[in-house]
Amino acid sequence: MSDKSHDPNQMTGAAMIVRALIDHGVTDIFGYPGGAVLPIYDEIFQQSEVQHILVRHEQGAGHAAEGYARSTGKPGVALVTSGPGATNMVTPLTDALMDSIPLVCISGQVPTHLIGNDAFQECDTVGITRPCTKHNWLVRDVNDLAKVLHEAFYVATSGRPGPVLVDVPKDVQFATGTYHPPRKSDVHRSYAPRVKGDATQIRKAVALLANAKRPVIYSGGGVINSGPEATKLLRELVEVTGFPITSTLMGLGAYPASGKNWLGMLGMHGTYEANMTMHDCDVMLCVGARFDDRITGRVDAFSPGSKKIHIDIDPSSINKNIRVDVPIIGDCGNILGDILQVFKAEAKKPDVKSWWQQIAQWRARNSLYYKKSNDVILPQHAIQSLFEATRGKDTYITTEVGQHQMWAAQFYGFEEPHRWMTSGGLGTMGYGLPAAVGVQVAHPDSLVIDIAGDASVQMTMQEMSTAVQYELPIKIFILNNQYMGMVRQWQQLLHGNRLSHSYSEALPDFVKLAEAYGAVGLQVHKPGDLDGAIQEMISVKRPVLFDCRVAALENCFPMIPSGKAHNEMLLPEQANDEATAKAFAGGKALV
């Protein structure tokens, strides 16, 4: 028997954590030290394979890891301490769960013998994070740690991706045990996500597609999560069939915005042509999207005359909100490949010419119209200018949540997947700035821009300090209207314009704030100065806070009012006071 002290797989729990990160190809992690993770930080100090980015708040670590994951397709990793470190991770974990982002969070815990004793910085981390992770573990024995860490990476990245958390008590970090590299038996036998689609269902789907008169493809974040092959196949399917395609907020970039079959985003603030096409279609192919309530509007009036095909890797997404006719469970890259193969062998290109003529009429309504001004910058115009200035550049966009996010989705054209990082499901204000930090860490030479609002950006502003410390030249492009714009818009439309607490009094001077952090501050008021200022922002190789003063009371249109169907959109030219009042007529109850 060999001497255990010379066995290279004998190591402390803390060393195992760093070793497992390396074995899973992790090069960057985001974290914040504290008492219950000090042994891990000591290991990090003594190696150079894993770079640690010190954030200013654990929520920032989580969103940075999300941005890193979304822009690379690799899992993002966050390291936090027990108690408040772990509770501060709840928002990013929930965000990642809603948007299916692979995230591995390692949290420290008080020593095993103190668990349950209300020890200093103790909380029930696995209890708190159980509903906001795909799975989580509390490791009580150092000899289980390697297995759990490997399983954590597998669970986070396989099937429908999502966040996982491994809670490691401090005594387990100190204890010595046996490490082993990743192996198949590390994973629960009960966990086996289905990836291959059912052949019979695929034939049924092709039969529907081949005979469609008014088809539409509705794609979502699942296509992007599936990887580059799925994107390629989706584009090929659009090409082969000639069908129109729309996408959810999460799916932008899978099909290029400059593509001729692109209808724009669908849903509450989607284009008129996308929503009308969805409403009037006879065959709908939903790929990796989940019929979320921002997409469907009124469910009993959602695309009433269509046969619906739904491709999703998560069986629980099927028939959750909308009953579908042909569900296909599996990886959408896989299934798109099979559909294409059968389609090309057995079907000919359907004649959808008259359908495109109809769509052209809807398109002619120009639902993204807004009135430019020479005196004041319109937010839509600011985003268009930003888009023009960055077109063809190696650019990544993140956003916060609100009007600016919808305008970014409407007016910034995404040509490739993984270029668009936004909080879709959870709608987390404060997501974009730390996410930009994560994206910039993954892509140090790319242009990374957070399209922000003046309210959202203040929620995680402290991460400017992280950007400065690591020389991450992120650009925070703030559409500053001095309001929580989306809240104000809803108050105007639904609550008699009583603007209860949606005005940001005492906004900071963003230019001085940038300077205080050691970053660059820019401010622009006049439309005529906008392009020059954007060029300056791009050319500065340091973090920038860009205070773009925009029209304060601009509303985000088009819009499906609540309780309305896709064909009852409120278009910008109709959005006078009378039409708006009528569209939103109803009781006073709020849900």
Enumerate residues 68-127 that contact other proteins by CB under 8 A: 126-127
Instruction: Spell out, one character per residue from 290 to 309, where the chain touches other proteins: x when CB under 8 A holds, - when not.
Output: ---x--xxxxx---------
What strands, in cross-sheet order, belong to the sheet with 447-453?
Answer: 420-421, 395-399, 447-453, 475-480, 544-549, 520-524
Task: Return the structure tokens found at 211.
Answer: 């005979």
Residue from 190, 357, 500, 576 in contact with other proteins (CB under 8 A): 190
The minimum distance between CB 421 and other proteins, in angstroms, equals: 24
Stretch that binds other proteins, among 109-117, 280-288, 512-520, 582-590 (CB under 8 A): 582-590
Note whether 503 binds other proteins by CB under 8 A: no
Q: How many residues does the chain have?
A: 591
Q: Tell me which residue of 77, 87, 70 sits closest to 31, measured CA to CA.
A: 77
Stretch that binds other proteins, among 131-139, 280-288, 373-381, 546-554 (CB under 8 A): 131-139
Q: What angle do CA 462, 380, 386 make, to 5 degrees?
A: 65
Instruction: Spell out, one character per residue from 319 to 338, where the chain touches other proteins: x when CB under 8 A holds, - when not.
Output: xx--x---------------
Given CA atoms 469, 470, 471, 475 in this order, what sign does their dihedral have? negative
**Is residue 515 annotated as part of the catalytic site, yes or no?**
no
Q: Are β-strands 420-421 and 395-399 bridged in parallel, bridged antiparallel, or unpaired?
A: parallel
The minimum distance between CB 563 and other proteins, in angstroms, equals: 3
Enumerate residues 533-572 that contact other proteins by CB under 8 A: 562-564
CB closer to other proteins, 480 vs 489 = 489
Q: What angle do CA 513, 516, 521 make, to 5 degrees?
A: 50
How many residues touch other proteins under the rule CB under 8 A: the total is: 39
Task: Return the structure tokens found at 409.
Answer: 């989705």
Give CA–CA dist 180/148, Å, rounded. Answer: 11
Query: Residues 6 or more apart from 107 whose CB is under 8 A from it?
Result: 36, 37, 79, 80, 81, 82, 85, 86, 89, 125, 165, 166, 167, 168
The minimum distance between CB 151 and other proteins, in angstroms, equals: 8
Task: Return the structure tokens found at 80.
Answer: 């936090």
Residue from 18, 155, 276, 328 in contact with other proteins (CB under 8 A): 155
CB closer to other proteins, 74 vs 298 = 298
Active-site residue, selected from the candidate residues 120, 196, 471, 582: 120
Task: Return the structure tokens found at 85.
Answer: 């470190």
**Is residue 184 annotated as part of the catalytic site, yes or no?**
no
The minimum distance between CB 140 and other proteins, in angstroms, equals: 8
Note whether 135 binds other proteins by CB under 8 A: yes
Instruction: Spell out, one character per residue from 195 to 214, where the chain touches other proteins: x when CB under 8 A holds, - when not.
Output: --------------------
CB closer to other proteins, 162 vs 379 = 162
Stretch that binds other proteins, among 38-46, 132-140, 280-288, 391-399 (CB under 8 A): 132-140
Given CA atoms 410, 224, 418, 134 in this order, what sign does their dihedral have? positive
Give CA–CA dist 353/356, Å, rounded. Answer: 5
**Is residue 388 annotated as part of the catalytic site, yes or no?**
no
Task: Return the structure tokens found at 428.
Answer: 């987390």
Q: What is the DSSP string of 431-476?
A: -HHHHHHHHHHH-TTSEEEEEEETTGGGGSGGGHHHHHHTT---EE
The minimum distance between CB 490 and other proteins, in angstroms, equals: 7
Cis (ω within 30 of 0) for the bond into 558? yes
Note whether 5 binds other proteins by CB under 8 A: no
Q: What is the DSSP string of 271-313?
A: -HHHHHHHHH-SEEEEES----HHHHSSGGGSSTT-EEEEEES
Residue from 138, 472, 520, 551 in contact with other proteins (CB under 8 A): 138
Note whether 185 binds other proteins by CB under 8 A: no
Note whether 584 binds other proteins by CB under 8 A: yes
The minimum distance between CB 503 and other proteins, in angstroms, equals: 20
Active-site residue, selected from the candidate residues 11, 486, 559, 569: 486
Q: Tell me which residue of 153, 195, 145, 189 sits closest to 170, measured CA to CA.
A: 145
CB closer to other proteins, 5 vs 190 = 190
**Is residue 11 annotated as part of the catalytic site, yes or no?**
no
Residue from 494, 499, 511, 575 in contact with other proteins (CB under 8 A): 494
Residue from 257, 318, 347, 513 in contact with other proteins (CB under 8 A): 318
CB closer to other proteins, 436 vs 487 = 487
Q: Tell me which residue of 430, 408, 446 sits closest to 249, measured CA to CA.
A: 408
Q: Tell me which residue of 138, 130, 169, 135 sits closest to 152, measured CA to CA.
A: 135
Active-site residue, selected from the candidate residues 10, 121, 469, 523: 121
Stretch that binds other proteins, among 85-93, 312-320, 352-360, 445-453 (CB under 8 A): 312-320
Give CA–CA dist 153/39, Å, rounded. Answer: 21
CB closer to other proteins, 390 vs 492 = 492
**Is residue 232 annotated as part of the catalytic site, yes or no?**
no
Classify 212 as helix, strand or coil. coil
Stretch that binds other proteins, among 133-141, 361-369, 393-401, 407-415 (CB under 8 A): 133-141
Residues carrying an active site annotation: 58, 120-121, 170, 486
Positions that interact with other proteins (CB under 8 A):
126-127, 130-131, 134-135, 138, 155, 160, 188-191, 293, 296-300, 314-316, 318-320, 323, 490, 494-495, 562-564, 584, 586-591
